[in-house]
Amino acid sequence: MAIIEPKQFTFSNGGCFIVREALPEDAEKVLTYTKEILADSPHLITTPEELTQTEDQQEAWLTNIVEDANKLALVAELDEVIIGFLDFHNGNRIRNRHQGSFGMSVKREYRNNGVGKALLETMLEWASENETIEKVSLEVFSDNFGAIALYKKAGFEMEGIKRKAVKTEDGYHNLFLMAKFL
């Protein structure tokens, strides 16, 4: 079980928000956030119509994460409203449990304002203190320049490219594979 104490962060333009562990009782808020972000972000693989998860399923998913010492879900909140989300999952086999990957999103109106950085720093701090996790990986759209810059600044390096990995109404998109060894 990961234990992340809530932390207060300051937006780049002033004001404060909280980053904390997502809990099973957050299921409704996480589901609402996910629906909003899927409808508003061109850099996510899942489409809004593919989200069929119920609140009970979301609660069970969050419970599974909370109960596993090598998994983590974080929310960034402003006035108890989720403005960012990150989830990390490690490998489920003996030979790959030392590494894992994460996904992260931030509401449009809070992007480029320190929320993603706060989520990322909190996750990396947790991973560094975790006895099992040695490598953190991610996939990012090759045209998501802000996210790529954030990851590079945090010490992530390119590991490869998945060419034409995503197909949207706009055409094909490459995914960059990036990783950081702890």
CB count within 10 Å of CB 35 equals 13
pLDDT confidence of residue 137: 98
The CATH architecture annotation of domain 7-133 reads 3-Layer(aba) Sandwich (3.40)
Under the banding of pLDDT at 50, 70 and 90, the label for residue 4 is confident
CB count within 10 Å of CB 84 equals 26
Question: Which residues, other chains included, contact 152 with Cβ-Cβ below 8 Å and sequence gap of 6+?
Answer: 178
pLDDT confidence of residue 24: 97
pLDDT confidence of residue 74: 98
pLDDT confidence of residue 3: 74
Q: What is the pLDDT of residues 50-106, one digit of tens each?
A: 999 999 999 999 999 999 999 999 999 999 999 999 999 999 999 999 999 999 999
Q: Tell me the pLDDT of the chain averaged across its residues.
A: 95
Q: Is the pLDDT of residue 1 over 70?
A: no
Q: Which helix (H) or strand (E) holds 146?
A: helix 145-153
User: Rounded CA gap, 8 and 16, in Å?
Assistant: 7
User: Rounded CA gap, 112 and 124, in Å?
Assistant: 19
pLDDT confidence of residue 2: 61
